[in-house]
Amino acid sequence: MKAKHQRLTLAIIAVVAVIGAGFLALIGLRDNAALFRTPTEIAAEPVPPGQSIRLGGMVADGSIVQQADGVTIDFIVEDGEAQVPVRFSGITPDLFQENSGVVAEGAFDARGTFIATNILAKHDENYMPPPMEGMETAGNDG
């Protein structure tokens, strides 16, 4: 085989490999394309126990309950239409509180409780760190 044909063959194999890798990546990511699922989406299409997902919504008012072990908390994630009970063992983020946004990573157990392995607290665009609350911006007198 001539060198020109060998280069052409290698180029074709490389293109096919890149296309195949892209196709496999799309197949692997198709179920995880959404950043998280809301309680309403989960109520409409239940998730099988043990399947890892992200659950997003608001921490319901008055729902955070600290367990006796000191590291486990139970709380409810809601989105205005549906609610999901959540259990988490570990240290929560500083922004985690009632009436705030949260994304929990984990899976449902057989009883329908979402067992979170990680909690990501969310804040809105008006968030200000607690030490800076109440401070006026200086130098804007113009």
pLDDT digits (tens, 9 = 90+) for 41-55: 999 999 899 999 999
The token duo for 37 is 């699922």
Q: How far apart are CA 135 and CA 2, in angstroms?
A: 76
Confidence of residue 132 (pLDDT cuts 50, 70, 90): very low
Question: What are residue 136's DSSP bridge partners?
Answer: none
63-85 average pLDDT score: 93
Q: How far apart are CA 44 and CA 38, in angstroms?
A: 10
Q: How far apart are CA 64 and CA 43, in angstroms?
A: 21
Q: How far apart are CA 55 and CA 127, in angstroms?
A: 22
Confidence of residue 31 (pLDDT cuts 50, 70, 90): low
Please give the span between the terminal C-alpha atoms of the chain, in angstroms, as a whole number: 78
In this prediction the pTM is 0.64
**Checking DSSP bridges between strand 83-89 and strand 114-122, what pairing results, if any?**
parallel
φ/ψ region of 119 (left if φ > 0, alpha if ψ in -120 to 50, else beta) reads beta
